Amino acid sequence: MDKPKNYELRAMHATLCQAIADPTRIALLYELGDGRKHVSQLVGSLQLPQATVSRHLKILRDRSLVATEREGTFVYYSLVYPEVLAALDIMRSVMHTNLSEQSSLANAIYFTQGEG
Amino acid sequence: MDKPKNYELRAMHATLCQAIADPTRIALLYELGDGRKHVSQLVGSLQLPQATVSRHLKILRDRSLVATEREGTFVYYSLVYPEVLAALDIMRSVMHTNLSEQSSLANAIYFTQGEG
DNA sequence: AGAATATATCCGCATTTCCGAATATTAGAA
DNA sequence: TTCTAATATTCGGAAATGCGGATATATTCT
């Protein structure tokens, strides 16, 4: 029993990565990077329907990326693993590098053709 | 023009994260962490149909996470941004922490009930 | 109990993603 | 050119995912 366990672990790894692979959830995670916030606050900052925000929060909660504390009628959400933001930052910097390299490439082609 | 641009960036960020949110692609990225490999080698190590491997490689290539060099009939793939593995490592360690905490919790419940 | 507020879940529908067999393309050898 | 090996792409269908209005649940206040 080695192959199946590796496969399962990889599937879980992917499931966890998938949790952070959505624009709304990325926004939620960065919002929570500032500290805990309740649902209404998150709805306010993301400007999305409450059902949408709750649905995404549930996805993060199911994967233990966020934790909840109820206070009266409010439910506060907070990051369980702030390192997740570091992972997101890496991917974001890769994206930016990519973007600038693409535009450099575009310029290179443009000027090369322009000069002939 | 600020909201729309932020939205676009977040969408791109998510698209990039989605590239790493699949078990096959995670396996591919870690395989390439050892150095460049051609498709047949990857098919050999992952034990998946060639079409499947090529399809996933295309997804990584489209997002510039891997680059290709042709040598004869072989096409070698390599990582463009090895930092991506660091991001994957973070998520993996979060997963492991989660797993051990879940089993601690399971034990705690088990023993608590056992002692009653 | 009844009203009000905050949050979670349900539902139907549209879109995306994945799979793998089959097929197309590419490069080198005969 | 024809054959062969390596890789890429296409196709149809199954499964997963996202959306947001409507509704359910939970908590507090009166």
The mean-pLDDT minimum among A10-14, B46-50, B107-111 falls in: B107-111
CATH of the domain at A22: 1.10.10.10
Judged by C1' against the alpha carbon of B56, the nearest nucleotide is C18
Residue A109 and residue A86 share a domain: yes
Residue A115 and residue A66 share a domain: no
Residue B105 pLDDT greater than 70, yes or no: no
* Residues 6 or more apart whose Cβ sits within 8 Å of residue B75: B38, B39, B68, B69
Residue B56 and residue B28 share a domain: yes
Contact call for A23 and B16, based on CB within 8 A: no
Q: What is the pLDDT of residue B6?
A: 81
* Residues 6 or more apart whose Cβ sits within 8 Å of residue A99: B12
Residue B114 pLDDT greater than 70, yes or no: no
Stronger pLDDT, B28 or A3, i.e. the higher one: B28
Percent of chain B with pLDDT over 90: 78
Residue A109 and residue A65 share a domain: no
What is the mean predicted confidence (pLDDT) over B80-106?
A: 91
Q: Specify whether the CB–CB gap between A17 and B17 falls below 8 A.
A: yes
In a mutagenesis test of the B interface, which of A95, A96, A97 is the best target, namely the one with the most B β-carbons within 10 Å?
A95
Residue A3 and residue A28 share a domain: yes
Residue A39 and residue A11 share a domain: yes
pLDDT single digits (tens) B57-83: 999 999 999 999 999 999 999 999 999
Residue A66 and residue A28 share a domain: yes
Residue B42 pLDDT greater than 50, yes or no: yes
Residue B55 and residue B92 share a domain: no
Name the residue closest to C18, CA to C1': B52
| CA–C1' A72–D26 (A) | 9
Judged by C1' against the alpha carbon of B51, the nearest nucleotide is C20
Percent of chain B with pLDDT over 70: 86
Residue A109 and residue A68 share a domain: no
Contact call for A11 and B23, based on CB within 8 A: yes
Ranges of chain A whose pLDDT falls below 70: 1-4, 105-116
Residue B52 and residue B8 share a domain: yes
Residue B14 and residue B35 share a domain: yes
Q: Which domain holds residue A54?
A: 1-80
Domain count, chain B: 2
Angle between helices A50-62 and A39-46 (to 10 degrees): 120
Q: What is the pLDDT of residue A116?
A: 37
Distance from the A28 Cα atom to the nearest Cα atom in chain B, whole angstroms: 11
Residue B48 and residue B26 share a domain: yes
Residue B30 pLDDT greater than 60, yes or no: yes
Burial class (CB in 10 A: 0-12, 13-18, 19+), A43: middle
Residue B11 pLDDT greater than 50, yes or no: yes
